[in-house]
Amino acid sequence: METLSHCPICNSTDFDQFLTCTDYTVSHKEFSIDQCRSCGFRFTNPRPSANELGSYYKAEEYISHSDSKKGLVNRLYHLVRRYTLIKKLQLIVRLAGVKLSASKQKQLLDIGCGTGAFLDICKRAGFTCKGIEPDGDAREHSIKTYDLDVKDEPELDNLPKASFEIITLWHVLEHVPLLNDRILQIKQLMNQSGRVIVAVPNCSSFDAKHYNKYWAAYDLPRHLYHFTPKDIISIFEKNEMKVEQILPMRFDSFYVSMLSEKYKTGRTNYLKALIIGLISNVSAIKTGREFSSQIYVIKKN
C-alpha cells in the first residue's frame, strides 16, 4: 500500500477522511477516501501500490476486462453498450469534423481500451486507431477478436507527439496512479486542434449521495480518484487545458444503482434501482452537470 501526502489538484497536505467503503468485487476489504480540506478533491488513500493494483481487477465481475455476459446485470450492460457505442462514435465524428466515409486520415487513441469494442466500431468507421490496455487478458481479446493495434501501457511513451486528433479515456482517468503525469502525456500526444474525451463517474450526483458508502461507482480500490465537475475543470486547467463541453451519460445512473442496491441490501432490486436512477437523471437535468457519469470534451488552451 502507498499513501498520498499531497492533493493531486492543489498540492495541499491537509486531508480529512471522507468515507470508508468495501471492495465488493475482489478483496472484500475496506478502503478509505480522503477529502482535501483546501479544494475538496476526494481520493483513495492509502491505496494499493502500482505493483499491487493489477490483482484487484482479476474478477469475472469486472466486465470491461472480462466481457462476461453471465447474469441479468451483465446482459443489460451489453445491451446498453451497443447503443452507447454508436453515440460515442457520433460524438467523435462530430469533434473530428468529418463524415464517416472521410475519416480515414483521423488518428484516434483510446487509452484503457479494455476488450476493444469501442476501438472496433471506430476502426470500421474509417478512423486510424491505436489502443492502450494494461490488462494482458483484455489486450489479447481486443487483438484476437477485432484485429486491433493495442499495446501495453508503457508504449504510451513511444507514440509520436502531437499526432492524435482524438484521444479517449472512457472511465479510465479514475484508475491512473500518476494523474498529472498522465494528463501532461495526453496533452503532448494530441495535435493542436485535437480533443480529449474523458468519461468519469460524478461523486456529486444524486445517486452517489443517496447510496453513500454503497455507491458502486466509488469502486475502491480500483478507482483512485472521485471526481466532481469542478475537479475535472480544475485538474485540466492546472495543466493548461480547457473543458469546453460537459455531456451526460444517462444510462450509468441505472447500472450503478443496480449494483449499489445489491451492495446495500445483498440482493438486486431492479425496481428500486430504476427509480433511483430516474430521480438522479431528473435531478441532474436541473443543473445540466450532475449526472451519475459525465463526458468531458477538452482542448488545449
**pLDDT for 144-197, tens place per residue?**
999 999 999 999 999 999 999 999 999 999 999 999 999 999 999 999 989 999
pLDDT band at 12 (very low <50, low <70, confident <90, very high): very high
Cβ atoms < 10 Å from Cβ of 125? 20
Whole-number Å distance between alpha carbons of 213 and 206: 13
| Cα dihedral value 145, 189, 168, 175, nearest 10 | 90
Q: Give the per-residue pLDDT at 83.
A: 85
Nearest of 73, 48, 47 to residue 62 by alpha carbon: 73
Class of domain 15-300: alpha beta
pLDDT tens readout for residues 110-139: 999 999 999 999 999 989 999 999 989 899
pLDDT tens readout for residues 234-277: 999 999 999 999 999 999 999 999 999 999 999 989 999 999 99
Q: Give the per-residue pLDDT at 240.
A: 95
pTM for this entry:
0.92
Q: Give the per-residue pLDDT at 132.
A: 98
Whole-number Å distance between alpha carbons of 299 and 301: 6
Q: Average the pLDDT over 12-26 and give the result.
A: 97
Q: Mean pLDDT score of the chain, rounded to an integer? A: 91
Q: Give the per-residue pLDDT at 73.
A: 56
Q: Is the pLDDT higher at 62 or at 12?
A: 12
Q: Give the per-residue pLDDT at 72.
A: 56
Whole-number Å distance between alpha carbons of 46 and 141: 32
Residues 108 and 165: beta-carbon distance below 8 Å: yes
Q: Average the pLDDT over 91-100 and give the result.
A: 75
Q: Give the per-residue pLDDT at 78.
A: 63
Provide the b/e sequence for 254-285 (b: ≥16 CB within 10 Å).
bbbbbbbbbbbeeebbeeebeebbeebbebbe
Residue type, 214: Y
DSSP, collapsed to helix, strand or coil, labels residue 271 as helix
Nearest of 162, 130, 174, 176 to residue 300 by alpha carbon: 162
Nearest of 177, 226, 206, 218 to residue 281 by alpha carbon: 206
pLDDT tens readout for residues 57-93: 877 655 454 455 555 555 666 677 788 899 999 999 9
Whole-number Å distance between alpha carbons of 161 and 194: 12
Residue type, 35: Q
* Bridge-based pairing state of the strands 293-300 and 241-248: antiparallel
Q: Average the pLDDT over 199-211 and give the result.
A: 98
Q: What is the DSSP string of 206-235?
A: HHHHHHGGG-GGG-TTT--EE--HHHHHHH
Per-residue cell: 21: 467503503
